[in-house]
Structure 1
Amino acid sequence: MADTHSKLFMGCSYNGISREMFENNFDDDIDIEADFVGRENDLNVLKTAWQKHKIFGIFGLRSVGKSRLVTEFLKSTKPGSFVRIYIDMKLISDTNSLYSRVCASYGIEPELQAAQSSRWIYHICDCIKAAGKKPFVFFFDNTEDYQEFKGVDIRDSFFSLCTSLVRQCSNVKIFITSTTRVQFSQLKKVYCSHEVLPLNQWETRLLLKTVLEGVELGEYENAIVDLCEGMPLLILMVGSELTEDSGMITPKDMVEFLLTCRLKALSREFYPEEDRVVYKRRLTILEYIPGSFNAEQAKEILDSQSVATVKDQMLIPVRRRHVLKYDPRTRRFSIQGILRECIKTFYTIKNIPEIRARYCRIFTAVMKNISQRLGTAEYTKALASFTEEQPNLQKLLIEVKYTKQDTYHFFIEMATQCTELIERYMAGDGEDFYQGCLRAADMYGQEGDKASVNLAVGSMYTNTKGNLSQGANNYESALRVLETKGKSLQLATAYQRMGWNMLQQARNLDANRFFKKSLSISLVSGQEFKLISLQSMSSMGVSLTQLGKFDESERYHFACLDERIRVQGENHPGVGACYNNIGVMYEQRGDLEKAFEYYKKGLDVKVKAKAPVMSVVFSLSNVANVSSTMQNYEDAHKLIDDALERLKAEKVPPREALACAYDTKGKTYDREGKLKEAEEMFQVAVDIRETIAENMPYVESLVHLADVNKRKGNYEKSLELAKCALKLTSKATLAMPQNPFIAECLECVADVYNRKGYVEKYRVTLEKIETELLRLEQVFLCQCNDRALEKIRNQIQDIKAKLDNLPKES
């Protein structure tokens, strides 16, 4: 048998099909899906349980046909009526991968702040519920490794996801396949556990006959049936071998091969390694691709002459022998799971550096292609491609630890050109990947490359992970190299990003210094510098607004606006953002009429430019907020209702945009004096933001909700909410040193104690307010923000006066 397979996998011709037929009917020839035979009892069990149960645990021996059973059952239940999300758990490395894979399969973006499993599970459930009554079927295939070998945290996150989907989403059913019985003790009433056994002798005979094409087994039929042991994949492979190559293998030979090789159940638990089938070089090379692959990728990694050749000499012959699975919808192949294990165990790639280099070349191009399409109208198609390629791209990131000079440049390209894809969808492996790139740059002495990677890493820490100090360290490392190489686009970019990092840390003077350096390069350089110069001008205007230097801020904002209109035209999202920043500047200045005018201009441009819904909603909220401040409450409500309608029209509304809209509606009701309605809106905003992250917006909504409860006389609830916000003091001041919300929260607590006559608690809270205001004073001193400094010092004097007027302690 081993010799026969050696011949087979070295590459056989495809007998009886002309080249023209081959080229024109490739899908017909390759999609050799065997008839589904038997399993009537199994199908009936699932049909009976379908209405009553929501989660189905299908378990049995490896290669016994669990996945095919589920697939056939779903085909019988009107597959077009539900959204099917298929996840091969064998290809999932961690909880981040599971989250991003589910999101990509459904066509939604993972939220960067939803790092904890409880938060991303909530996000997925929320998205499913937002789809209304449309039914979903989750199919988690090959879960045994996930349960047994990948760690308690990963296992528990998976079980929590399944449990939450079943309990929270009435429109969800789940299938789980595994070699072992999966336990859901808390879901007994809706959980159907079913063992799939090997085919019985009658079913085995029937399946053999479907693939024998007239070959008679004669006296050897009973022996072959017994030796196949009811394993569908083995039955199919036996049948295909008996019909290939003009009957070169006879039934007598097959009995001898089966007795010799003892392919018992094709399972690592049931047979020793030395008895497994040995596969040859080409299939072993293909196995280096962990997920599915297309014919072009197979041609590249096999270094074949053409796609037609690799189809003719490799893919079609092995598909006919049921070694490969094929999806005609995506035109992608994958190696049968149990056979992949056999290959991995018994054969190693001799020229592994060469194959690794081919792999890096192939999938670097794939990753770059997906990255380029993410920010375009092809976003949905890019996500679909990512869903298919995710395991291959994850392996690509891990390959950085094997970097050699011939593959080094691929990893540098990924680090610098695929930053958004890695940060948003591959966060679990992203940090290790970037560190690997930095080590490789050190190894090969490429200082310029190291600077490029440090820029990408700095962006990840600044914009995704929220670790501003670490991000600044990476930017500084990049600048130390780039500054020695003279003026360049990369240097201007590094200055701009470093400035933005400083701005996020409320280090406005440092931020301005870097923005000016970026502008000194970009304003006098070519067209390729134009975008970075606009970003620096806009950021400079924002920073000067925060400093209260409104005249200077105005000059930068209007210079940026004029240039954006010249370069991008009147109706571009960037122009809308520029108008919005001018509105912020005027609002901070106290000129509400002008603020309203520019917020409205920004909104109109964004709507005309069909900007992303989140951007439009934030502009609607800005216009509504100013309107309600000017007591135009009816207009404010219309604007926010417009925002909510836009969000409802989305497949999955962005949660932060929803929370922003409800928070703004709450402030509008608050200003109207409609405290009951305000409380309801603030509560919704708190509930949404709590599921995303315990960040600054969450603290802000908690403070709003605490304050409105205080004014309603709900003192205990007000104190409870305020204490929740105050627990996040350290995190809030680190994320945004100049934030006023902690002081506002303490003022709310002090007012409650004062109203209830708790003199000593009132005194202690006033002292805490004084300490927080003194901290803010230092922040604004460092920023040279004279306007904010004057306001804080007046507040400090008011607190001192209140403390002085309190009765002396006895």
Structure 2
Amino acid sequence: MGESDSVQNAQEWTFVGREEDIKHIKKVMLEKKSILIFGLTKIGKTKFIKQIYTLLKDNKNCIWKDFELDDIDDGDDVYEWFIEFLTEIDAVEEKSRFEKKFSSKFNVCGTCDKCKNPGPDLCLQKDKMIKTAINTIIATLKKVGKEIVLFFDNIDKVMNSSLKDNFLHFLQQSVKQTKLRTVIASCIKPKLTAKVFESYELKPLNDEAIRKILYETCECRELCPENNEEALKKVTYLSECLVFKPKNEPYLDAIVKLCEGLPLAAIMSGMLLTEDDGLLTPGDLVEILICMRLAGLSPDNCPPEDRLNIYKRPMDEVKGVASFFNSLNKGLDGTTLSIDTAVSVAINAQESIDTEAMAKLKVLKKCLDRSILSIEKLSGHHQLIWHGILRESQADLLILNTLPSDESVSQTKEMVLKFMKENVIKAGLDFDDDILQDPKSLEQAIKSLSIHSPVQAQDVKRQLSISDEHYLASKEFMGDLKSTVVKDVKDKEVDIDLETNPDMDSKCSKKLESRYSVSEDNELEFEMIYCTTSENSLKDTHGANIPGTEQIADNPPPYTTLPLETSGASGFNKENDMNKNLFEPIYSPPPSYHSSTEDIPNN
């Protein structure tokens, strides 16, 4: 107890985004004796009450107790709680009497089944002794002349143990003491009937606060707290920044949204971006958070309590309603749902539940009391919110339970794709299914965010590589590799021997038109056509109008021509043996165009 190391180290990261919450709690503390701060696991409850502790400790006698590292079932640890508390309030005589009265340190039995196998029920002898000790503490508090503010953190551990009833007894008695106030942080909501007891839900942080935490983790880690606060007043994107460069802004916006208001997610994201000389780029991290957010933010080389997959614990605690969550996961798109929808799913999923009232009591209330679901009032009606991280945790548990069968593998793929889609929406991106199902396409789409342009599947595939780009361009231009690339020679008259060409109309001007075409074998061929001009069109050697020549178009359709023998390897420069004209090779199909060649001299 007292000002523990955990409180002293609370300022490692700047406290942001809770200014309005702090104002509310300071106001409530003037009216209420006990305040419960509850909310989602790792939403920042500990940090929040540490901030309250810091604000009050100079003017009030503040005592801090964190149950996180204590062995709840060890009688020695429980005994030490009372000794520490009496020491903190300077009750020297009471402490001495307490030590004489409870010399056994609560290990009074140790032989019964409840002592050997700790569970929800406490050994009767131990229970009696602890209740007596609590009453002794309460009696001592009545004699204390100064006001005390007692902070309890991580009481979930106590509420899930055999000491739950003893702890609730202490809270019930403490609100009757005029000189004692309590501030409690928990995911589980204790229910006290006293009028002076207040509950307050801590919601996820907004995007601005998450961005500041990410900025501090990436750019301000070496600054002192005073300089941090100044730097965080306005997050800026500068070219000299380590991560917050202007080109990275769209990626960082997506990362902020995918943190979903969790400070731990923002801190872990910042660490991943700055480790190993920036091995993971912001674009890489966006892909990771879309595809495997839980695993990506839960590396096995960090403490278990700092891994995001810690959210599986609360889901484990409601295994009795697992079928409800499994059914909800399959049918839910997004993280919000109506109460009517939740009730309907609960009735269909639980055979023991037949009515709406029972569904609300046995399922919804149980989940709300453990902060797995939260309730929000919008536009005159209520809706339930199931945080995205908790949804993914429940899906992971379901996958682990059903993995061996072939059907479950298919269900797993569907669920993974579903969460990828939802994460894409959360990130504010617009990727279709084709992109999500192709890892390379997804990677390319994410890289394209820096140019701030919408990305479609066909656009991504066109950018995968230079060769792919040429291939797709040629496929678009030539259709099924049978379209013709045309190069017309126009307005170039040549002299043609009428005797050898009796079918030609001597009154018409004569022209020689040359064109490129692509054969069925993808060979580049050069062909020539003798033609005559009429008023509005070209005619071939048979007198037929050549389609598309009434008005010269960008893409004339294919037509029949007279082949001209060529020499040279296919795909390289082709030489016109008759006219000695060289035509440059085409390595990739150019855009459609109309151009003319030099006059071809008579032989």
Q: TM-score, normalising length from structure 1? A: 0.28
- Which structure carries more strand by proportion? 2
Greater C-alpha Rg = 2
- Which structure carries more helix by proportion? 1
